[in-house]
Amino acid sequence: MKRSQINKLIDSSMSFMEQMRFHLPPWAFWAPAEWRGKAEHAQEIIQNMLGWDITDFGGNDFNAKGLILFTIRNGNLQTDSKPYAEKVMIVQENQQTPYHFHWQKMEDIINRGGGNLVIEIYGSTANERFSQNPVILSVDGFRRTVEPGGRVVLTPGQSICLEPGVYHRFYGEKGKGAILVGEVSAVNDDRNDNRFFEPQGRFPKIEEDEEPLFLLNTDYPRYF
């Protein structure tokens, strides 16, 4: 991805969240220069990878396969005792987040507003392939059985609980608009706890065609 594209996506994300009346912490809006001298007091942000996270999953076609995320809070099993995490995401119509599961993380995915979020589900086998058994899960606290490859459509306000080992992919339903998606989960570790069904790049390779207007959470090592 080009840095110029990332800059535009973050700028438009801020506008969308304002439209949805979702408020980010003040440091979400800091330019790189505003981070200078703050590293000592921002170790939770830096070490736990809070902040902006934009990916095309290595496909170089963000509109078809991509995701905008902002990690609001997160624990770190090596450095602190916080056992939970929270993210907010923006999903466009027909924009895929590919099939994956987590070995450790249990998560609730929540439609916070906008369009409808479509989630397709498979269980996993011992060798981490698609299971052909139905998956029993919880939607808004109600038990639901989903057939292999079955869809759950979350309208605004609805949520689904995904346990470790459950393959899922999601995208916005066509004709319904972009979606503000929330995630409440156990500690999040995007470097080590994503099992993609097909090999994917979790973080993008960035072409620095212009200076960053805002930092991604993968930029922190370079700046701090």
How far apart are alpha carbons 147 and 30 in whole angstroms? 45
Give residue 86's pLDDT: 98
**pLDDT at site 77:** 86
| Structural contact between residues 214 and 7, judged by C-beta atoms closer than 8 angstroms | yes
Strand ranges in 75-216 using DSSP code E only, listed in sequence order: 84-91, 97-101, 107-114, 117-122, 135-139, 142-146, 150-154, 159-162, 167-172, 179-186, 195-196
- The pLDDT score that the predictor gives to residue 189 is 96
Q: What pLDDT does residue 224 have?
A: 83
Report which of 189, 217, 183, 169 is spatially closest to residue 103, judged by C-alpha positions: 189
User: 162 and 168 in contact (C-beta within 8 Å)?
Assistant: yes
Q: Which of 112, 110, 134, 104 is nearest to 121 (CA)?
A: 134
Domain boundaries, the chain: 3-223
What does pLDDT average to in each consecutive run of 10 residues of the chain (224 residues)? 98 97 97 93 96 96 97 93 97 98 98 98 98 98 98 98 98 98 97 95 94 96 87
Identify the CATH class of 3-223. mainly beta
How far is Cα 96 from Cα 75, in angstroms, rounded to an integer?
A: 27
